Amino acid sequence: MTAIDALLAEGPTFSIEAFPPKTERGRANLRAALDRLQRLDLSFVSVTYGAGGSTRERTGEGVEEISARGLTVMPHLTCIGHRREELVALLERYRDAGQRNVLALHGDPPRDDPDLPPGDLRRAIELVHLAREVGDFSVGVAAHPEGHPKAPDRASDRRHQAEKLRVADFGVTQFFFRLEDYLRLRDDLAALGVDTPIIPGIIPVTDHRQTARFAELSGASVPPELMERFDAAADAEEVKRIGVDVAVDLGQRLLEAGAPGLHVYALNRAEATEQVRAALPLDRRVG
* Catalytic residue numbers, as ranges: 17
In the chain, the amino acid numbered 42 is: L
**Alpha carbon distance 285, 287 (integer Å):** 7
- CB-CB neighbours of 242 under 10 Å: 19
Are 275 and 244 a contacting pair, CB within 8 Å? yes
**Alpha carbon distance 286, 6 (integer Å):** 12
Burial class of residue 78 (count of CB atoms within 10 Å of its CB; 0-12, 13-18, 19+): buried
Q: Within 13 Å and on the Cβ side, how many CA atoms surround 48?
A: 18
Are 119 and 156 a contacting pair, CB within 8 Å? no
Cα–Cα distances in angstroms (integers) from residue 228 to residues 24, 83, 177, 220, 283, in the given order: 36, 45, 14, 17, 34
Tell me which DSSP letter residue 52 carries.
G
Residue 105: name the closest of 85, 76, 82 by CA. Answer: 76
Which residues lie across from 171 on neighbouring strands?
A: 141, 198
In the chain, the amino acid numbered 110 is: P
